[in-house]
C-alpha cells in the first residue's frame, strides 16, 4: 500500500494539479428530491487520471524491463501456459519492489512520512517524491532516447535531474527500457532457438516430418534451463542490469 501511495503521489503531481489536497472528490448537497452527489470541477482531473494510474506506476519503475524479459523467456521455452501469467506477474512485481527499494525508502523518509505528519503539503511531498524516481529513470535512460523528446530545448541539461521535465523523461525512460528488455530477451531466447533448429534438422534427417519438433525440443530446453540454474541466472542478471 505504501508503494502505491508514494508512486501515486508522483503520478498525481503532474500539471493537472491546481486544487489543494483538501478538495473532496465528491460533494453532497441537499436537493428537492433528496441528496445530489456532484464532483467539483477542480477534482475532475484527478478522477480522469485514476484509470491510468497503474500504467503510470509501471512507466516509472523497473517493472517494464522485468516483465518483458520474463514473458520472452516463456515464449522461448515454447510453453505458453507455464509458468502462468499470475506467477510471472507476481515475480515481476516482487523484483520491481526489490530493485526500487532504495528509491522507495528515500520517498518514504523525505516525502511520505512528512506528508503524513502534516509537515509538508501534498504538492511539496509529490515534488519531493519525484526526485528519487527521476534519478532512477535518468540513470536507465539512453542519451539518444532522451534527446528525442527534449528536441532543441537548450534550457534542459540532461545531466541534471531537476532540469529534465517528467513529460520528456518518462517516455524516454520507457523507450529505453523496452530496448534493453528486448536485448536481454534476445540473449535469453538464442540458446532455445539453437535447440529448436537442431531438433528440427535431426527429425527431418530421420524422416520424422510428421512429429512436431516442439514435442522433442521442449523437454530438452527445460532440461538445459534447469541444468544451468536458469532462474537464478536470469533473476541475477535482471537485478544486475539496473
- For residue 175 the three cell numbers come to 523507450
Does residue 224 lie in a domain region? no
pLDDT given at position 53: 75
pLDDT given at position 69: 92
The single-letter DSSP state of residue 153 is: -
Residue 70's domain spans which residues? 2-10+38-186
Does residue 202 lie in a domain region? no
CA distances in angstroms from 7 to 4, 103, 132, 146, listed in the order given: 5, 11, 11, 22
Measured between alpha carbons, how far is 96 from 93 in angstroms, rounded to an integer? 5
pLDDT along the chain (242 residues), means of 10: 45 41 48 54 65 76 90 86 87 90 84 78 78 84 84 70 77 89 90 87 81 80 86 88 82
Does residue 234 lie in a domain region? no
Does residue 104 lie in a domain region? yes
Does residue 210 lie in a domain region? no
Does residue 105 lie in a domain region? yes
Does residue 231 lie in a domain region? no
Does residue 159 lie in a domain region? yes
Range 44-70 burial, b when 16+ CB lie within 10 A, else e: eebeeeeeeeeebbbbbbbbbbbbbbb
pLDDT given at position 156: 72
pLDDT given at position 36: 54
Q: Which residues pair with 30 in a beta bridge?
A: 35
Domain count of the fold of the chain: 1
This prediction has a pTM of 0.73
Amino acid at each position: 500500500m505504501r508503494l502505491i501511495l508514494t508512486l501515486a503521489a508522483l503520478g498525481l503531481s503532474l500539471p493537472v494539479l491546481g486544487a489543494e489536497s483538501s478538495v473532496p472528490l465528491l460533494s453532497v448537497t441537499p436537493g428537492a428530491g433528496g441528496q445530489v452527489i456532484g464532483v467539483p470541477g477542480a477534482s475532475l482531473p484527478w478522477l480522469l487520471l485514476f484509470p491510468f494510474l497503474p500504467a503510470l506506476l509501471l512507466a516509472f519503475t523497473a517493472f517494464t524491463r522485468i516483465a518483458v524479459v520474463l514473458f520472452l523467456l516463456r515464449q522461448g521455452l515454447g510453453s505458453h501456459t507455464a509458468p502462468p501469467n499470475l506467477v510471472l506477474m507476481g515475480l515481476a512485481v516482487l523484483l520491481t519492489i526489490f530493485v526500487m527499494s532504495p528509491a522507495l525508502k528515500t520517498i518514504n523518509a523525505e516525502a511520505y512520512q512528512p506528508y503524513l505528519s502534516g509537515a509538508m503539503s501534498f504538492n511539496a511531498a509529490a515534488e519531493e517524491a519525484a526526485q528519487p524516481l527521476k534519478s532512477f529513470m535518468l540513470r536507465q535512460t539512453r542519451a539518444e532516447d532522451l534527446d528525442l523528446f527534449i528536441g532543441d530545448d537548450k534550457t534542459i541539461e540532461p545531466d541534471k535531474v531537476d532540469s529534465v521535465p517528467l513529460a520528456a523523461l518518462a517516455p524516454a525512460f520507457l523507450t529505453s527500457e523496452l530496448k534493453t528488455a528486448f536485448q536481454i530477451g534476445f540473449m535469453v531466447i538464442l540458446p532455445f532457438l539453437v535447440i529448436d533448429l537442431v531438433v528440427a534438422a535431426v527429425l527431418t534427417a530421420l524422416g520424422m516430418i510428421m512429429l512436431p519438433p516442439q514435442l522433442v525440443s521442449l523437454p530438452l530446453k527445460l532440461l538445459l534451463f534447469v541444468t544451468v540454474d536458469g532462474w537464478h541466472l536470469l533473476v541475477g542478471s535482471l537485478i544486475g542490469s539496473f
